[in-house]
Structures are given as C-alpha cells and as structure tokens.
Amino acid sequence: ESVKHDDKRLILKVCCWTALICFEWITMVCSQCNQANSESGHWKDFQRGRKAPFWIEAVFKNNFRSLLGTIAIFGLFVAPFGSYVWAADRSSKTTWPWRVLLDSEYAALLLIRSAYFGRLLCVGVECWLCLEYISGLIHHDELQNKQKRR
C-alpha cells in the first residue's frame, strides 16, 4: 500500500515539475514575441503603454537588484536545487555538506521555504507576462478587424 502511495506521490511531483518547466518555456516564448513586437525591442517593455503592477515593477527594478528581484531570482535558482538536496539527504545515510555549513536542519528548511516564496513570486510575474502578451495579441487582432470593416 505505501509503495503505491509513494509511486503516486512521485508521479504527481514529476507532473508538477514538468508543468512548471513547460510554463517557463511558454513564458520565454511570450516575452521574446513581446520583444519582437515592442518599439524599443526590450522584453521588459510592456505593450500599449500599460503600466505593470507595482510588485512586478519592483521585481524588475534595477535589473532585479531590488529586494523582490533578489528574492525572485533566489527562488528561481534555489527552489529546485534545494528540493533535490533536501530529498536526497532524507533518503541517504550520508551527511550532506549543507548540514556541516548550516549546522541546523531548521536553517536549511528556512532557506528552502524562502526559496519557494521567491519561486511563487516568479510564477506570478510569469503569469502576468503571458497574460500581457495574450492581451496584446487580442488587442492587435481587434484593431485589425476594425480596419477591415472600414
């Protein structure tokens, strides 16, 4: 019974990580297409003069050199690796270097959880970028349809 439960949990984790990776690629395509359509040619420029929400501007501020930008980049890179290290440490009998460096399991858990907060922040920015691109496509199609009717 527990083997079946562990298999289901593993399949769920693999599906979630695969969906997240696919979403990363979709975001990359949307931001690059947005860049191709923008006047300045920069992927952080948003279409139709709309202003980004304050928390997205805070992430992008000074090339991610802000508090929210640092947390987002930390989460982007550390959350997957931290999860792997945490899972590998729990399943092996050897001592991982992070235990020696941090000297506390709680400190490592705090770092991994804060990385997941940053990763969730990244997901929010990625969702906004994709929605912004899609709304730009819809707006562009509406303009073309109006011009055809004239």
Report the range out of 38-42, 61-65, 90-94 with the highest average pLDDT. 61-65
pLDDT of residue 71: 94
Residues whose CB is less than 8 angstroms from the CB of residue 118 and which lie 6 or more positions away in sequence, other chains included: 71, 72, 73, 74, 75, 76, 78, 79
pLDDT of residue 108: 73
**Separation of first and last alpha carbons in the chain:** 67
The residue type of 128 is W
* Tens digits of residue pLDDT in 13-46: 888 888 888 988 998 888 888 777 766 655 555 5
In the block, residue with structure tokens 């992008």: 60
**147, 140, 142: which is closest to 34 by C-alpha?**
140
CA–CA dist 60, 67 (Å, integer):
10
CA–CA dist 129, 22 (Å, integer):
15
The residue type of 82 is G
- Compute the mean pLDDT over every residue in the chain, rounded to the nearest whole number: 80
Report whether pLDDT(84) > 80. no
CA–CA dist 85, 111 (Å, integer):
12
pLDDT band at 49 (very low <50, low <70, confident <90, very high): low
pLDDT band at 118 (very low <50, low <70, confident <90, very high): very high
